[in-house]
């Protein structure tokens, strides 16, 4: 996924949100604000990108997004339970109608036998709609995993907007 391809995805997200007059909030962990950067690289993005939360630690996820300590303790930061709460927290703590959340293991360290490098959990929430989440496994080095996660997050926004 090239920078130009990410920009193209962000442009599609922008058009879909602007058509609805909705805004997006991003809750990011392993991508460190990359989704927010791709979105705000587009001129006029303040009309559709409301805010981003970079919550790299468990404490930040709890304090900024309201992720329950029990979910983190039982399922871990890289889990669908956690990203679902991150997405819900981003909606609750913003003026956005749509949110996305990402948490994963970009590597090269941090892996466990059950959570390998490249495992990324994503969630998308739309006000008043059923939340969507998934777990993906991406290949490559840290940069490649993060880049693929950003692309998956943006594509997921398009997918939930079509369904909304």
- Give the domain ranges of the chain: 3-163
Confidence of residue 1 (pLDDT cuts 50, 70, 90): confident
Question: Whole-prediction pTM value?
Answer: 0.97
Largest CA distance in the chain: 44
Identify the CATH number of the domain defined by range 3-163. Answer: 3.90.950.20
Return the H-helix or E-strand segment holding 2: none
Q: CA angle at residue 8 from 7 to 13, to 5 degrees?
A: 95
pLDDT digits 0-9 by tens, 12-60: 999 999 999 999 999 999 999 999 999 999 999 999 999 999 999 999 9
pLDDT of residue 163: 86
């Amino acid at each position: 996924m090239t920078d130009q391809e990410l920009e193209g995805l962000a442009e599609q997200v922008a058009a879909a949100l602007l058509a609805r007059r909705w805004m997006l909030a991003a809750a990011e962990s392993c991508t460190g604000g990359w989704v927010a950067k791709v979105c705000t690289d587009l001129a006029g993005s303040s009309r559709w990108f409301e805010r981003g939360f970079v919550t790299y630690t468990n404490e930040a996820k709890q304090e900024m997004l309201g992720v329950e300590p029990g979910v983190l303790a039982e399922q871990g930061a890289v889990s669908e339970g956690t990203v679902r709460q991150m997405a819900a927290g981003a909606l609750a703590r913003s003026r956005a109608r749509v949110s996305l959340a990402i948490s994963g293991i970009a590597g090269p360290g941090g892996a466990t036998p059950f959570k390998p490098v490249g495992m990324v959990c994503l969630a998308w929430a739309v006000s008043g709609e059923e939340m969507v989440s998934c777990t993906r496994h991406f290949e490559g080095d840290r940069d490649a995993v993060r880049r693929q996660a950003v692309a998956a997050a943006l594509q997921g926004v398009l997918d939930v907007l079509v369904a909304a």
